[in-house]
Amino acid sequence: MINIPKGTKDVLPQESYKWQFIEKVARETARVFGAQEIRTPTFEHTEVFLRGVGETTDIVNKEMYTFLDKGDRSITLKPEGTAGIARAFVENGLVNSALPAKFFYITPCFRYERPQAGRLREFHQFGVEFLGSYSPDIDAETILLAKTFLEKAGVKNITLYINSIGCKTCRKEYENALKAYLNQNYEKLCPLCKDRLNKNPLRILDCKNDECKKITEGAPKILDYICDDCSNHLETVKKLLDAVGVEYKINPNIVRGLDYYTRTVFEFVSENIGAQGTVCGGGRYDGLIKELGGTDTPGIGFAVGIERILLLLENTGVKIENPNKVKIYFAPMGEAEAVKAFELVSTLRNSGIACDCDHMGRGIKAQFKYADKIGAEFVAVIGSNELAEGKVKIKKMADGSEQTVEFDQVKSFLEKA
Ligand code: ATP
Ligand code: MG
């Protein structure tokens, strides 16, 4: 037997309807917010992620699936959705389209990580990217979209954390203050953070190491350093969220992993899925499009991990209905009856009714067993009497009640049932 690669998962029929539900909620939420679907390739030139995600991030440093193709090009499987979309925005000249351009996507992502619950090597994200607006109301709208999606999906008890990481100018000042503080504690930092200190000190605030956490507790806070413009921007985002009743907590330690974030950053965190508590992360990235060679264009977006949402729903006892079950199963008791069953099934399917009949030449008892296993709501028995009279005996599986229905009345019976 050949096994599935580590960190990947088969989604079997007993799970796939849950995925369909999440994807439907995602599409519907995006639709009412005016976002359109964008699909970019599963792999890009590695350069897209080096520049679009940033060389000091965990993703680029250690998590990418990068390989040379047969033409000796460096190719990388997408570890996240934003960089590819930014590349597509630039390449297709979408700066000349109606702005803000509002995109959403549902995509597999690939990261070479240590697999655990809620952490896979192939996982899936639903995300949005809104490009072209500097206005704080698009930040609030992005956050509201994420919140609406999570609510409609059935997620409860989730905390929204918001922060501003300032702009290029004021962040420099903060970084200097932070570096000065961290330098005093240099010896106690983990090896990774020692390395981060000069490359991307903000990321140290995000370190999961206990010792580093203790040190960063006493660190200078970015909100004391951001400039008036950045501060006003944050205040307006807060005001708009207040206006629509979105609750949030300001958390100066939220910095996000990616390099090109500016101003607003946010995360939705749950206590119900253990260590992998962040189900959604997002923020503003005003420098990204330019970084990828485009006309300076601001942007904001978020991504949620679909596996983590499903885990969260499962851990909090949220049930999702399976809409894909067969409505009616036809159980013929002989050869001539089987032809009739085949015919009836075929007519009902043309009307969009999910139905099935015997394909195994089983006896009636075994057919009922099968119908029960596949979750059929009704079983229609066709014996020789029924065939002669042009009727079926329909049994409702939930309560065992029976009713005799003429062949051409089955459809209207099911519609009323
Ligand atoms: P973490 O801190 O958990 O590693 P991250 O900051 O790397 O998360 P992002 O790059 O912001 O995550 O991705 C957005 C979302 O995608 C996360 O909030 C999470 O729900 C999901 N996600 C990220 N990495 C994985 C993974 N390896 N497996 C499953 N879901 C993931
Ligand atoms: Mg990560």
Average pLDDT over residues 76-83: 97
Cα–ligand 2 centroid distance for 401 (angstroms): 54
Most informative mutation of 114, 200, 278, 312 for ligand 1 (most atoms within 8 A of CB)? 278
Residue 93 is predicted with a pLDDT of 97
Which is more confident, 25 or 195? 25
* CA 253 remoteness from chain centre: 24
Name which residue sits closest to atom 26 of ligand 1, judged by CA: 119
Query: Closest by alpha carbon to 222, among 234, 208, 214?
Result: 234
In this prediction, residue 327 has a pLDDT band, given cuts at 50, 70 and 90, of: very high
Look over the chain and give the mean of its residue pLDDT values, rounded to a whole number: 95
Is the Cβ–Cβ distance between 241 and 140 less than 8 Å?
yes
Cα–ligand 2 centroid distance for 259 (angstroms): 13
- Give the CA distances from residue 350 to residues 322, 346, 390, in Å, rounded to whole numbers and listed in that order: 22, 6, 20
Report pTM: 0.94
Residue 79 is predicted with a pLDDT of 97
Question: What region, left, alpha or beta, does residue 257 occupy, with left being phi > 0 and alpha being psi -120 to 50 degrees?
Answer: alpha
The encoded tokens of residue 203 equal 């990321």
The ligand minimizing its distance to the Cα of 301 is: 1
Our CA angle for 281, 289, 36, nearest 5°, is 65
Average pLDDT over residues 2-24: 97
Is the Cβ–Cβ distance between 144 and 242 less than 8 Å?
no
Cα–ligand 1 centroid distance for 266 (angstroms): 13
Residue 126 is predicted with a pLDDT of 98
Residue 396 is predicted with a pLDDT of 98
Residues in contact with 87: Cβ distance below 8 Å, sequence separation at least 6, in sequence order = 40, 44, 48, 52, 292
348 pLDDT higher than 70? yes
Cα–ligand 2 centroid distance for 146 (angstroms): 19
Average pLDDT over residues 234-242: 98
pLDDT, tens only, 270-308: 998 887 799 999 999 999 999 999 999 999 999 999 999
Which is more confident, 130 or 258? 130
Q: What percent of the chain has pLDDT over 70?
A: 100
Please report the DSSP string for 5-61 in residue order: PTT-----HHHHHHHHHHHHHHHHHHHHTT-EE----SEEEHHHHHHHT-TTSHIII
Is the Cβ–Cβ distance between 105 and 126 less than 8 Å?
yes
Q: Verify cis geometry, omega within 30 degrees of 0, for the bond prior to 100.
A: yes
Query: Closest by alpha carbon to 124, among 281, 325, 383, 308?
Result: 308
Tell whether ligand 1 has an atom less than 6 A from the beta carbon of residue 120. yes
Query: Closest by alpha carbon to 202, among 184, 185, 178, 186?
Result: 178
Residue 354 is predicted with a pLDDT of 97
Cα–ligand 1 centroid distance for 305 (angstroms): 6
Cα–ligand 2 centroid distance for 119 (angstroms): 9
Most informative mutation of 113, 308, 312 for ligand 1 (most atoms within 8 A of CB)? 308
Cα–ligand 2 centroid distance for 160 (angstroms): 18
Average pLDDT over residues 95-113: 98
pLDDT, tens only, 160-201: 999 999 998 899 999 999 999 999 999 999 998 998 898 889
The ligand minimizing its distance to the Cα of 281 is: 1
Tell whether ligand 1 has an atom less than 6 A from the beta carbon of residue 57. no
User: Mapping DSSP to helix (H, G, I), strand (E, B) and coil, where does residue 116 land?
Assistant: strand
User: Mapping DSSP to helix (H, G, I), strand (E, B) and coil, where does residue 74 land?
Assistant: strand
Atom of ligand 1 nearest to the CA of 267: 18
C-alpha to C-alpha distance for 315 and 318, rounded to whole angstroms: 8
C-alpha to C-alpha distance for 139 and 34, rounded to whole angstroms: 15
Is the Cβ–Cβ distance between 316 and 122 less than 8 Å?
no
259 pLDDT higher than 80? no
Name which residue sits closest to atom 22 of ligand 1, judged by CA: 305
Question: What region, left, alpha or beta, does residue 251 occupy, with left being phi > 0 and alpha being psi -120 to 50 degrees?
Answer: beta
Tell whether ligand 1 has an atom less than 6 A from the beta carbon of residue 123. yes
Most informative mutation of 8, 19, 57, 123 for ligand 1 (most atoms within 8 A of CB)? 123
C-alpha to C-alpha distance for 198 and 291, rounded to whole angstroms: 21
257 pLDDT higher than 70? no
Least trusted range by pLDDT, from 83-92, 95-104, 260-269: 260-269
Tell whether ligand 1 has an atom less than 6 A from the beta carbon of residue 80. yes
